Amino acid sequence: MKIKKWGSIFFLSLFLLLAACGDNDGTSADTSNAETIHVVTTIAQIGEPLSIIGGDKLTVESLMGPSVDPHLYNPTQSDISKVAEADIIFYNGLDLEANMVEVFKSISDEKPVLAVGETLPDESILIDEAGAIDPHIWFDINLWQQALDAAVEELKEYSPENAELFEKNKQAYFEKLDALKQDAEKLTEIPEKQRVLVTAHDAFGYFGHMNGLEVIGLQGLSTEDEVGISDINDTIAIIKEYEIPAIFVESSINQDAIQAVIEGAQSDGINVELGGELFSDAMGEPGTEEGTYVGMYKHNIEVIYEALNK
Amino acid sequence: MTYTAWIIVTAALVGLSCGLVGVFLILRKTAMMADAISHTVLLGIVIAFLVTREVSGSAMLVGGILAGLVTAFLVQWLHSLRVQHDASMGIVFTTLFAIGVILISTSVGNAHLDVQHALMGEITFIPFHTITLPVIGQIPQATALLMIVFLVVLFFIIAFYKEWKITSFDPTLAASLGIPVMVMHYLFMSLVSVTTVASFDSVGAIMVVAMLITPAASAYLWTDKLAVMLVLSGFFGVISAVAGFYVAAWIDTSISGSMAFATGIVFLVSFIGSPKHGLLSKYIRPGVHGRIVWRVKR
C-alpha cells in the first residue's frame, strides 16, 4: 500500500510539472506578419545573401546559424515550427545535409524545396580521388552566383509580383560578388610555388580551384574523420618541398592537428607559422562583418594573402 | 495530428520499447549493450555503403541491424566461453568499431560517411517525413517503424514471460527445468539489437541509450516484482519523453537531449524518494502506530 501512496504523490507532482509548462506549443517563432514570404535555409551561406536580395519581402531564417558547423548541427525545438511555417525551403544538397535529405524530399510534396547545389551542372562539381562529392560549393563565387540565381528564380516563380524587385536586388548583390572576385585576384600575386593552402579539413577545394591554389586538407571532407599519423607526415613533407610559409586553422574545428603539423615541421628544422583562422563551414558571428558571405570571403582572402605572400 | 503530437507519440514509443527491453538488460547486468551497439553500427553502415554506394537510406538501417545482431551473437558467444559479460562486450564492440574505422580510412576514402549522418535519426524532423499506410493513413515513417518494433517487443515479452523471468534471475534453475537458456539469450540479444538500431535510425543515439537503461534502473528502485517493474519502466520512459519535450520547448534546445536528461531526473527522484531503496526512506520510517519516527544515524 505504501508503494501506491508514494507512487501517486510522485506521479501527481510530475503531471503538475507537465501541466505547468504545457501551454507554449512551439508557436513562439511566429513573429512576422503574413505579408512576407517565409524562407528557411539550412546554411547561412544561402540565407544571408537571400535576405539581402529579398529585402523586406522575405523573412529568412537559417537552421544552422552563421557560426554553426553543418556537420555538427543539432536541431532545437523551435526548428520544428521554422520548417513547418516555411513557405519555401532552400538547402545546399550534394550530401552536405545527408541526414535531412529524406525529410526535405518528403516536404517537397507540400511546398517548394530546392537543393541549390544540385542545380549546378555536373561537370562543375569537384570530386576527390576517392570519388566523393565535395559539397562546399559556396567557396567558388561563380558557382555560388549560379546557385543563388537558381534560388532567386524559384522565389520569382513563387511570388511573381515581386519578381522585378528580386531581379533588381540580385543584380546589385551580384555586382558586390563581382567586386569580391576582383579582390580575390590578388591571390595570384603570391609566388607560384607557395600557392598551397594547408588546412584542417578539405573544405577549400572550390576556393583553391577558383583562385589557383593547391589545397591540402588534413582531415578529409567530413569534420568527423580521424587524422592519421601518415596524414601529418605527408603534410610536413609537402611543406618542406614547397617551402610553404604558413598553414591555417578553421574557426569551427579543433586546432590540435594543425598544431601537430607545425610542431612536427619545426622539429624537422622547417619554419612554418600559423597563418591565421579561416572560416570554412561556418561563417562568423551574426551581426559582424564576417557573419556575412561577402565579409567571410574577404576575411579568408586577406588572411591567406598576408600569410602566404612572403 | 500536430507536429508536436507526432514527436511525443514517437518518443513515447521509444520509451516503451526501450523501457521494456531495458528491464531485462538491467536484470542481466548487460546495461551497456546499447552503448556497444551504438559503436558497432559503424561497421554495418560502412559495409552497407561499400555495397550500395549510398550514404543514407534503408540500406543503412539494414546494415546497422545486421551489425547489431553480429555484436549480440559475438558477445553471447564469448560469454558462453567463460569470458565475463562486461569484458566480452568491451572486446567485441571495440574490435568491430576498429574494423569500421580502418575500412573507412582505407576503402571509403573521403566520403561524408559517419554514423551521425548515415544512420542516426533526428527526432525534431520526424513529423515531416511521412509515408502513407493502408488503414492508418499518413503517418511519419519513424513512428510506423517504432510501432512495429514495439509490437514485436511486446509480443516476445508476453509470449515468453515465464522463460524470461527464470532465465534472467536463475539460469541454472532454468536449464534444469528444460528451458533452452542459450536460445533465449540469443533471442533476447536479437531483440535488443533490433530495438536499439531501429530507435537509433528514428531518434538518435543519446536518447536510446538513456531510454534503455535509466527508466529500468529507476523502476528497479521502486519494486522487486518483475511485472510491476516492466510496467513502471515503460511508464517512466513515456513520462521522460513527454517531460523532455516540454523542457526542450521551454528553453528551446535539442529535443532528444532534453528527453535523455528527463530520464536522469526520473532516476534522481526515484533514487531519493523510492520507498524501498530511496535515500529518504533510510531516514524516515513510519513508526508502530503510523507516527513518523526520524531515524538518525549514530
> For chain A, how many residues are written?
310
- The whole-angstrom separation of Cα B130 and Cα B142 is 8
B108–A103 C-beta distance less than 8 A = no
Residues 6+ apart with CB under 8 A from B246: A18, A21, A22
Report the CATH number that the domain containing residue B106 is assigned in CATH: 1.10.3470.10
Residues 6+ apart with CB under 8 A from A150: A114, A116, A119
Structurally, chain B folds into a number of domains equal to 1
- The whole-angstrom separation of Cα A4 and Cα A9 is 9
- The whole-angstrom separation of Cα A171 and Cα A169 is 5
Residues of chain A with CATH 3.40.50.1980: 37-182, 184-308
Residues 6+ apart with CB under 8 A from B238: B12, B15, B16, B19
Chain A residues touching B254 at Cβ < 8 A: 74-77
DSSP state of B128: G
pLDDT attached to residue B295:
52
pLDDT attached to residue A28:
38
- Cross-strand partners of B131: B139
- The whole-angstrom separation of Cα A255 and Cα A252 is 9
pLDDT attached to residue A153:
94
For residue B79, the distance in angstroms to the closest alpha carbon of chain A comes to 32
Chain B residues touching A1 at Cβ < 8 A: none
Chain B residues touching A126 at Cβ < 8 A: none
For residue A136, the SS3 value is coil
Among A77, A102, A221, the residue with its CB nearest the CB of B112 is: A221
DSSP string covering A167-231, please?
HHHHHHHHHHHHHHHHHHGGGGGS-GGG-EEEESSSTTHHHHHHHT-EEEESS-SSTTSPPPHHH
Q: Which CATH superfamily is domain A37-182 in?
A: Nitrogenase molybdenum iron protein domain (3.40.50.1980)
pLDDT attached to residue A219:
67
A103 in contact with B, Cβ within 8 Å: yes
Among A2, A7, A132, the residue with its CB nearest the CB of B110 is: A132
Q: Within a 10 A sphere around the Cβ of A158, how many other Cβ atoms? A: 16
Chain B residues touching A24 at Cβ < 8 A: 249-250
User: Is there a domain that residue B107 lies in?
Assistant: yes
Interface residue of A12, A85, A218, A225 to substitute, partner B, most B CBs within 10 Å: A225
Query: How far is C-alpha A40 from the chain's CA centre?
Result: 14
Chain A residues touching B111 at Cβ < 8 A: 130-132, 221-222
Among B7, B127, B243, the residue with its CB nearest the CB of A18 is: B243
**Inter-residue contact B213 to B157 (CB < 8 Å):** no
A83–B56 C-beta distance less than 8 A = no
User: Is there a domain that residue B218 lies in?
Assistant: no
Residues 6+ apart with CB under 8 A from B45: B60, B63, B64, B67, B100, B113, B115, B118, B119
Q: Give pLDDT < 70 ranges for chain B.
A: 55-57, 108-114, 116-118, 284-298
Q: Within a 10 A sphere around the Cβ of B16, how many other Cβ atoms? A: 23
The sign of the torsion formed by the CA atoms of A274, A275, A280, A285 equals positive
**Digit-coded pLDDT (tens) for B281-294:** 777 665 555 455 55
Q: Within a 10 A sphere around the Cβ of B250, how many other Cβ atoms? A: 14
B124–A18 C-beta distance less than 8 A = no
Chain B residues touching A135 at Cβ < 8 A: 112
**Inter-residue contact B237 to B18 (CB < 8 Å):** yes
Among A127, A169, A129, A130, CA closest to A152: A169
Query: If you classify domain A184-308 with CATH, what class do you get?
Result: alpha beta
pTM of the model: 0.77
User: Is there a domain that residue B238 lies in?
Assistant: no
Q: Within a 10 A sphere around the Cβ of B29, how many other Cβ atoms? A: 10
Please report which confidence band the pLDDT of residue A27 belongs to, taking 50, 70 and 90 as the band edges: very low
Where do we find the cell 534453475? B173
DSSP state of B89: H
The grid coordinates listed for B199 are 530507435
pLDDT at A17 over 80: no
Among B148, B217, B193, B194, CA closest to B10: B148
B8 in contact with A, Cβ within 8 Å: no
Chain B residues touching A7 at Cβ < 8 A: 222
pLDDT at A302 over 60: yes
B120–A99 C-beta distance less than 8 A = yes
Average of pLDDT values for A129-136? 76
Ramachandran bin of B215, using left for φ above 0, alpha for ψ from -120 to 50, beta for the remaining angles: alpha
pLDDT attached to residue A9:
54
Average of pLDDT values for A124-134? 77
Q: Which residue range(s) make up the domain with B201?
A: 3-212
Please report which confidence band the pLDDT of residue A8 belongs to, taking 50, 70 and 90 as the band edges: low
